Structure 1
Amino acid sequence: MSGEKYATASLIIPLAIGLKNVCNILLKKSFCKEVQHVIECYLRSIQERFGSLEQSTTLMVCTFIDPRFKMLAFSDKQISENAKQKVIALVASKVNHNVDTTPHSPMVTTDADELCVWNYTDVTVARNTPRIGTATSRAIVEVNCYLEEAFLPRNEDPLQWWKAHQFNYPHLSMVVREIFCALGSVTVSFFRHIINMHLRKEYGAKLMK
């Protein structure tokens, strides 16, 4: 699903929110002043660097179409609803692209057809065939059905889930194929760098005394 040193895009928002939550929990514990200072710097760095992650369309969509997270991995309901609307728009564009635009002429029954054994059935089916609806309405139905599916356990492979469900969600699965494997690439561990930076500053200050 990703390289050894790269997290896939659907993990970035949940990880950032989880790290922030862990820092807030640690701040409530009784540590020495130096450790408290490091945690506070760590939390500020997360907020400064990752505070706008949920404004990224790519990250929002990837998180939403991950069956492990869907709408529950975001920091508030408004952001999760924004992600849903973005996915619906993408799915609607796929529906528009694949919709049959050939006009269907009304069924005309001839005298010969009236004597056909299948005439009654064909006419009844034609009269009761539901209208296809707009691309947006079809997209809403497909996305809502996806949301009603059970969540995939976090340690299972979402790509395998989509492989098994691609025919249930034909247009949403097109979006998955195009965007889901985007990578959130960081070549150096940001968090290790922040901790080391502050430890060096602390030890450097002590050496200078």
Structure 2
Amino acid sequence: MVVRFIEQQQAICAVLAGDRNTWHLMPKDSEITVLEEVSQLLGSLHEFTDILASEKQVTLSALTPDLEHISNEILQEQPTDSNLTKQMKEIMRKDMLMQLRYTEEMKNVLNISSFMDPRFKGNFIENLDQTVKGCIEEAMLLASHLILDALSTEATQSPSSSSSTTTTTTNIKEKSLCGLLKKITAAKMNRVTASVQEKVDDEVKLYLSLPTVSADSDPLEWWKAHVEEMPMLSKVARSYLCSR
């Protein structure tokens, strides 16, 4: 609406000037200047939001770079900006920051999702080491479910206790065997956990060694192509790169 008014201001002013009763509606030069500055500032945001709205598939990982672009590029003060434009940018930037007061948990989710996107990796993360640590913990958490399921299946398939007719000596032996099996299972879990930790660490090193892909690439398709190389991290990517 503001853009249309600026485009048609000469015609509008001509119509208003033709009737004495509408002279008081004639916009002043200062008001036209304000409208032009508002239009220029909102035009950049309008173009950006139009691009986002036209996307059919937007991942959570795109949120951090988009917000950084708005804050550090579109709303960044320029030497040529007027005082009014600077004030508008400052108000809009503060309002955006107030809307983005995320909890630590949400910040962690955004950081991991950005890191797991091969287009960005650590480019938009303030504390990369902390994010990598969180990513490893998430991979271990997803892997632990598989470990526990495997151990649970193993325990279910182990010999059951004997009937009440068994002798006292047999019961004692079975109790001792159960205790031994618990130790064996615990040791097995420790070995498996250590092995999984090494695999996750190796996958993170491999992922960081690979170059970032172009911004127009599909991160989900990229992970499909690398799932065999990094099966643990691919589970994390599938959880965090969901389309919104």
TM over 0.5: yes
User: 117, 121, 133: which is aligned to 1:66?
Assistant: 117
User: 75, 96, 115: which is aligned to 2:144?
Assistant: 96
In 2, the alpha carbon distance for the partners of 1:41 and 1:54 equals 25
User: Do the aligned residues in 1 keep the contact of 2:57 with 2:243 (CA within 8 Å)?
Assistant: no
Identify the residue that residue 207 of structure 2 maps to in structure 1. 146
TM-score by length of 1: 0.61
TM-score by length of 2: 0.53
Q: CA deviation at 1:179?
A: 2.8
The amino acid that maps onto 2:219 is P
In 2, the alpha carbon distance for the partners of 1:35 and 1:170 equals 50
- CA RMSD, Structure 1 to Structure 2 (Å): 2.9
The amino acid that maps onto 1:142 is E
4+ runs deviating over 6 angstroms = none
The amino acid that maps onto 2:87 is H
Query: What is the total number of aligned residue pairs between the two structures?
Result: 151
Q: Which is further off, 48-57 or 139-148?
A: 48-57
Structure 1, gaps ≥5 residues long: 103-130, 184-209
Structure showing greater radius of gyration is 2
Q: CA deviation at 1:149?
A: 0.9
The amino acid that maps onto 1:60 is N
**Deviations, residues 102-160 of structure 1 (Å, cap 9, x unaligned):** 7xxxxxxxxxxxxxxxxxxxxxxxxxxxx874432321221121111110111111111
Q: CA deviation at 1:54?
A: 7.2
3-state secondary structure, aligned to 1:154: coil
In 1, the alpha carbon distance for the partners of 2:103 and 2:62 equals 11
**Cα distance 1:24–1:53, how it changes in 2: closer, same or farther (>3 A)?**
farther
- Identity over aligned pairs, percent: 24
**Cα distance 1:178–1:61, how it changes in 2: closer, same or farther (>3 A)?**
same
**Cα distance 1:136–1:172, how it changes in 2: closer, same or farther (>3 A)?**
same
Structure 2, gaps ≥5 residues long: 1-52, 155-190
The amino acid that maps onto 2:222 is W
